[in-house]
Structure 1
Amino acid sequence: MNFTAAFVFVLFFAGVTVLGFFAARWRRGNLAHLDEWGLGGRRFGTVVTWFLLGGDLYTAYTFIAVPALVFGAGATGFFALPYTILIYPFAFIVFPKLWSIAKRHGYVTSADFVSARYGSRMLALAIAVTGIVATMPYIALQLVGIEVVIGALGFDTTGFMGDLPLIIAFAILAAYTYTSGLRAPAMIAVVKDVLIYITIAAAVIVIPPQLGGFGAIFGVVPPAKLLLKAPDVSSLNGYSAYATLAVGSALALFLYPHSITAVFASKSGNTIRRNMALLPAYSLVLGLLALLGFMALAAGVKDMPEFAPYFKAFGPNFAVPALFLHFFPSWFVGVAFAAIGIGALVPAAIMSIAAANLYTRNIHMPFINRNMTAEQETNIAKMVSLIVKVGAVVFILGLPLTYAIQLQLLGGIWIIQTLPAIVLGLYTRMLDYRGLLLGWAVGIGVGTWMAVSLKLTSSIYTIHLGGLAIPGYAAVWSLGINLVVAFVVSLGVRALGMAGGEDRTRSEKYPGVAER
């Protein structure tokens, strides 16, 4: 047991717990209304939104998994850098427009917009269910970050006593999220981001000199892990896989319910635009974070006897904790591990709120009780947010970790199928809800089939065209099929003269809706 590191870790956890409950008093609003509890009253400015989106998108699992991927697979792990750069111009153009429409009409979720835009409860239901199902394993994976650092602190992670710290952490998270809503993760995100920046800065300054500098680090890394394999005459090898992973991940990232929730919580479209210009600063941190994988290779942490049991238990995910345990004093290990642990709580809170908003607005209200009061609506959302957290804990404790990773792999493939309905609906009235619904179903089916055919061990599916093998992200291939089906069916519906759904977002200013 590393008592000093554990004390610092618990101290920071206690601090953010106090902040989480205090957040209910921050920027006071009527938390009996879903708009206030689930979106913070849509009053977050540039700075708060920056921390909220950063805490939302750059999670504890990112902190653990990106260096682990570089540590295990090499250069392929750096696909996270271009995709987090590609996403921001896309979001800069698209999401201020979506925010404007949501603000004008009081929409809380993307499925609210879809329901009103296409006049179809079933299409909105498909979007809501996809969002909830794709989010659940994402929440479960945040527990991985906590589990790894708890193990690294010296706690036994087996049996009920090993599970107890995870249960306590999520019980505390559930309590202050229930009380404070989105204000809690927004406030805690500031602490999380400051800790991560301090941790990364210290790692980049302290570790390389002890390994002989970056030249020595890159010199130790096997050549096969430094570069992608070059294409040959019959295959694009890693290039197309790398490119489609970056593009597909970029298109999917802001479609996740927790991303849209953070966007909708902004106070204006210009707040969103400023954040899309500022958030690439996180990509710099992500690049430095990825380099920790190479540093762990150069340090040889996997071959150190004291870390052998941990690598056996956690695999490459232990690379970053091992690095900090080896190079830093115990008190700073506690700071670094607190950054990872708090980095799990922030996105998990936002994800559970986003899933609760979707269920309440797009499943419970239209299909179970259309006449809910504002207070009843919020109470349902609070209860669902608790159920989602409990489900994530049960999932990760009751099933092997690989299941969560495999389902998260499917999550990216599934969530990207909502792009035509959400994004294209902002720019064209050409698509009919029947085409979108059928395209969504075919995209989900094809993408799932591709992943299952790979035995859920990879998301890179190889297609063959004219004797050329093109490996690529299954989400991109399935999205292409989704779009073809959506357009063909929509054209067929129009050719047959079938009536479309009522567009309740229509106005003379649409789609360039003026901001208020």
Structure 2
Amino acid sequence: MHTTALAVFCLFFVLVTLAGFWAARWRRPEAGIASLEEWGLAGRSFGTWITWFLVGGDLYTAYTVIAVPAALYGAGAMGFFALPYAIITYPYMMVVLPRLWRVCHRHGYVTFADFIRGRFGNRWLTLAIALTGILALMPYIALQLVGMRVVISSMGLHGEWPLAAAFIILAAYTYSSGLRAPAVIAIVKDVMLYIMVIAALIVIPIKLGGYAHVFAMANQALAKHTPPGTINLKPTQFLGYSTLAIGSALALMLYPHTATAVLSAKSPNVVRRNAAMMPAYSFLLGLVALLGYLALAAGIDATKDTSSAVPQLFLKSFPEWFAGFCLAAVAIGALVPAAIMSIAASNLFTRNIYGELTGRKMLPHQESNMAKVVSLVVKFGALVFVLWLPTPYAIEMQLLGGIWICQMVPSIVIGVFTRWFNPWALVIGWAAGMASGTAMAAALGLKSSVYPLHLPAWLGGTWAMYAAVPALLLNLGLAVVFTLLFRAVGVRGGEDTTDASAYIG
């Protein structure tokens, strides 16, 4: 038991818990939080800095701090794909998201599935998008709890009750404060993460003999892994690496929790400024990734569970009080995205599943009350997933989540620029993309998402690529073919009820 580290950890956890409950009064409207827009999007009132912390806290999660270094610790250079995909994401964010924000703000849309309903007027396409978002979010929330459990266990505190207690705290302040709670905590979390990473990347390399020695030792350690790794990409990894970066970038901005954070901004200019400022987080991500190599060079033995590499590194390299601070930063990094993800899932269920299936228009306070309850159910489901199922299940399901989210690109990303596609064709393309992407991941035993696609010799033979990319190409191809076919036979799509002037910025 690391008593000092645990005491410091608990102190910071208590402080952010108090901040989460205080957030219920922060920028609270006079009428209270009585609508889904107020509870789930904080009244669309956040400016540039709050949105920056919120989106960053949303994308750079506890499991990012654990999993990205763990990927480098276990596989070497292939784990660095997270860095280019973040860089690719920001120009894409600059072009697509302000336009989506304008349409959603004009019509009071709370989710991207709301946008699909207005743009294409097809309830089945709306349900498909909403279900895809919830399916992808559930293992993502579970992974935040996995990251928290790894941190708690590293300090010698084992059993189910610490994680259950953290879940209850998270559920309570999310229920009372809505999106305001993770917005406040995100500021604290990001400051702590920057202190943690900068300190680690200055102090630990000095102790280990400098970065040249770190990279040399990491390369030697990776060569002994099964399969052997390296700090440089092998030629056979180029396509898998690049398609992972491109496919992950396409998916990142379509996750429902990203949509929730972006739609809480008060103007499209706030979204643009955030796209311009987000590379600061890419810089942080690159530094976080290097922790994996530091763990290898420091002789950390985490071959049975690579997720424990970073916590073990902190406990070995720092005084216990500062190790406790660092581990608190990682755990608090789980609270922000888990809260936003549960809010996003509850928004989707309330607006786009319950509302579509029942055809019933709820009053604003009824929507917010239902969303609050659903957010509790979502978090409880994630907790059950983590406590009663093996951890690899959550990781494997998350592999599928990225593949599934990519299948929303034709409907949302292309849909915000043109309504050329027939909505029924989009449903067919979506179904084919979901099925083929899932089949490719399942064929690999859900151990990897880089699938060896076997093509005829004249097309290059075998191409090892991220499964989401060929699934998305199939999705797009079928959407084009069936749109042309439906037009030829006179099958009409639904009505576009969005305001055309909202697309012009």
Q: TM-score w.r.t. structure 2 length?
A: 0.96
Partner residue, 1:437: 427
Q: Whole-Å Cα distance in 2 between the matches of residues 506 and 439 of structure 1?
A: 26
Aligned to 1:491: 484
Distance 2:392 2:407 in 1: 24
For 1:64-87, what per-residue CA distance to the aligned partner results, in whole angstroms no more than 9, with x for missing partners? 000000001000011110000000
Kindly report which structure 2 residues correspond to 1:29-44, keeping only aligned pairs within 5 A, or say none.
29=29, 30-44=32-46
Per-residue deviation at 1:339? 0.5
Please state if 1:322 is matched with 2:312: yes
SS in 2 for 1:222: helix
Alignment of 1:466-485 (within 5 A): 466=457, 467-485=460-478
Alpha-carbon deviation of 1:496? 1.4
The letter for the 2-side match of 1:328 is: F
Q: 1:483 is matched by which residue type in structure 2?
A: L
2:58 maps to which residue?
A: 56
Cα distance in 2 for partners of 1:238, 1:366 equals 44
Is 2:179 aligned against 1:186?
no
C-alpha displacement of 1:366: 2.3
Distance 1:500 1:453 in 2: 35
Partner of 1:362: 352
**CA distance in structure 2 between the partners assigned to 1:445 and 1:476 by the alignment:** 13
Q: Which moved more, 1:247-256 or 1:466-475?
A: 466-475
State the SS of the aligned residue for 1:428: coil
Amino acid at match of 2:503: P
Q: SS of the residue aligned with 1:462?
A: strand
1:267 aligned residue: 266
Corresponding residue SS for 2:76? helix
Tell me by how many angstroms 1:369 deviates. 5.5
- Alignment of structure 1 residues 32-431 onto 2, 5 Å: 32-156=34-158, 162-222=159-219, 224-230=229-235, 237-302=236-301, 311=302, 315-368=305-358, 370-431=360-421
CA distance in 2: counterparts of 1:327 and 1:55, whole angstroms: 26
Q: Which amino acid aligns with 2:376?
A: L
Distance across 1 between alignment mates of 2:365 and 2:357: 18
What is the CA–CA distance in structure 2 between the aligned matches of 1:131 and 1:426, rounded to whole Å? 18
* Alignment partner, residue 223 of structure 2: none
The runs of 4+ residues in structure 1 deviating greater than 6 Å are none
Number of the residue aligned with 1:511: 503
**1:168-207 CA distance string (max 9 Å, x none):** 0010000000000000000000010000000001001100
| 1:333 to partner: Cα distance | 0.7
The Cα offsets for residues 302-323 of structure 1, whole Å up to 9 and x where unpaired, read as 1xxxxxxxx47x6111111111
Aligned-residue offset at 1:292:
0.9
1:364 Cα offset (Å): 1.2
Aligned-partner Cα distance in 1 for 2:54–2:361: 32
Q: 1:213 offset after TM fit, Å?
A: 0.3
Equivalent-residue separation in structure 2 for 1:55 and 1:242 (angstroms): 25
> One-letter code of the match for 2:114?
D
Aligned to 1:13: 13
- Equivalent residues of 2:73, 2:292 under 8 A apart: yes
Deviation track 1:409-451 (CA, whole Å, cap 9, x = no partner) reads 0000111101111111111121010010000000000000000
**Which has the higher mean CA deviation after the structures are superposed, 388-397 or 370-379?**
370-379
List gaps (5 residues or longer) in structure 2: 221-228
Residue 37 of structure 2 aligns to which amino acid in structure 1? D
3-state secondary structure, aligned to 2:453? strand
The offset of 1:3, in angstroms, is: 1.2
SS of equivalent to 2:452? strand
In the alignment, residue 71 of structure 2 is paired with which amino acid?
L
Shift of 1:464: 3.0
Quote the residue 1:500 is aligned against. Answer: 493
Contact 2:407/2:430 (8 A) holds in 1: yes
Deviations 1:250-308 (A, max 9, x none): 00001100000000000110100000110111111111111111111111111xxxxxx
In the alignment, the residues of structure 2 paired with residue 202 and residue 372 of structure 1 have an alpha-carbon distance, to the nearest angstrom, of 51
Partner of 1:27, secondary structure, is coil
Percent identity reads: 58
Task: Verify the 8 A CA contact 2:425 2:483 in the aligned structure 1.
Answer: yes
- Distance, in Å, in 1 between the alignment partners of 2:80 and 2:308 is 18
Shift of 1:225: 1.2
Q: Which residue of 2 aligns with 1:234?
A: none
Cα RMSD (Å) of the superposition?
1.1
Once the two structures are superposed, residues 79-135 of structure 1 have per-residue CA deviations (whole angstroms, 9 ceiling, x without a partner) of 110000000000100000000000000000000000110011110000000000100
Equivalent position SS for 1:32: coil
Q: Which amino acid aligns with 1:175?
A: A
C-alpha distance in 1, partners of 2:216/2:383? 42
State how far apart, in whole Å, the 2-side matches of 1:448 and 1:174 are.
31
Query: Contact 2:244–2:465 (CA<8 Å) still a contact in 1?
Result: yes
Shift of 1:403: 0.4
Shift of 1:241: 0.1
| Cα distance in 1, alignment partners of residues 361 and 260 from structure 2 | 24
Contact kept? 2:65, 2:330, Cα under 8 Å: yes
